Amino acid sequence: MELERIKTIAVIGAGNMGHQISMLCAIKGFKTVCTDISQEMLDKADAFVNSYLDGRVKKEKLTREQAGQARATIRFTTDLEDAVKDADYVIEAAVEVLEIKRRLFADIDRMAPPHAILATNSSAIVSSKIAGATHRPDKIINLHFFNPALVMKLVEVVQGPHVSEQTLKTSMALCDALGKVCVHVKKEVEGFLLNRIFLRIYKEALWMLDMEVASSEDIDKACVYGAGHPLGPFALMDLTGIDLYHTMSMEKFRETGEVAELPSPSIVERYTKGHYGQKTGKGWYDYTQK
C-alpha cells in the first residue's frame, strides 16, 4: 500500500504517547481515531486536544480554521473494532508488555482491513515478537516516536526480517508526511538506536546514585551543563515514566533471566509508591507545586 492510500489512522492507547500521536495525525490531515480501554484516559486526551489547539491558535501556529479541521478529524472510542475497522494505518501505543501487545495485534489483525499496516510504538519490543500473532507479518513494523511526540522530530523505523520493502517505504513516507525525521534501523536490535544509548546512561546514573557517588540533581546537572543534554537522565525518566522504565527492565529480566537487568532499588522504591514522574506529580522530582 502506498502513502496516498492512507486516509484514516487508528491510534491504540491514549497515554503519554498515544494522545500526542493522535493529535499529530489529526493536525497533518489524517482522519484519526484514538482508542483506549480507559474512558478516563480518552476524556483526558479529548480535553488535551481542545487546549492544545487553542494554544496553537493563540500562538498563531495554526489558523482557527486549521484547528477546527483538526478537531473535526479526531475522535475517541473505547471500542477497538470501531477504531480500527476503517483504518489504513494503525499505530499501537499501549502499555509496554509483550503479551498485551500480542493479544492486541491478534485482535486488530482480525478487525482491520487486510491492506492496513500495523505499527507498534514500543520502546524496546521488536515487531518480530508480535508479527507471529497476526496473519500479515509483512505489514507489522516498529514505528518508534519520542516523547513528547508532538515536539520531538525523530522517529525510528525498524525493519525486521519479516517486514516488506513496501511496508518500510510507506511507513517512512508516513513519517515524512507527519513532519518527522526518520531513521531506518536496518536490523532488529532490542531498544533500537537511541534507547540503547539512553538505557546505558540510565544504568550508569542509577548506579552512581545507589552507590551515593552523587545526588540525582547533580547527575542531571552534569549531563545538562557538561554534555549539553536538554534534560538529565532523572528528569528524562520523570518525563517518560518511571513505570515504563520499570516495566522494560522487568520484561528484559523475564526474557534473559539476568539479575543485572532487574530495576535498581531506587526505581523499585518509586514504582511501588506509584511515583512515576510528571504524570503522577512525583518521581525523582516533585511536580505537585508546579
Ligand X SMILES: NC(=O)c1ccc[n+]([C@@H]2O[C@H](COP(=O)([O-])OP(=O)(O)OC[C@H]3O[C@@H](n4cnc5c(N)ncnc54)[C@H](O)[C@@H]3O)[C@@H](O)[C@H]2O)c1
Catalytic residues: 123, 144, 156, 195
**Mask for 40-59, x = binds ligand X (CB under 6 A):** -x------------------
Binding of residue 37 to ligand X (CB under 6 A)? yes
Binding mask 116-135 for ligand X (x = CB under 6 A): -----xxx------------
Closest separation between CB of residue 41 and ligand X, Å?
4
Answer for which of 9, 11, 15, 143 binds ligand X (CB under 6 A) is 15
Strands 181-185 and 140-145, how do they pair? unpaired
Position 96 contacts ligand X (CB under 6 A): yes
Does 95 interact with ligand X (rule: CB under 6 A)? yes
**Candidate ranges 31-39, 202-210, 223-231, 267-275; the one touching ligand X (CB under 6 A):** 31-39
Measured from each CB, the residue nearest to ligand X is 15
Among 47, 72, 100, 213, binds ligand X (CB under 6 A): 100
User: Which one of 87, 94, 178, 235 is in contact with ligand X (CB under 6 A)?
Assistant: 94
> 10 Å Cβ neighbour count for 200?
11
Residues within window 138-177 making contact with ligand X, judged by CB under 6 A:
145-147
Interface residue list for ligand X (CB under 6 A): 12-18, 35-38, 41, 93-96, 100, 104, 121-123, 145-147, 240-241, 244
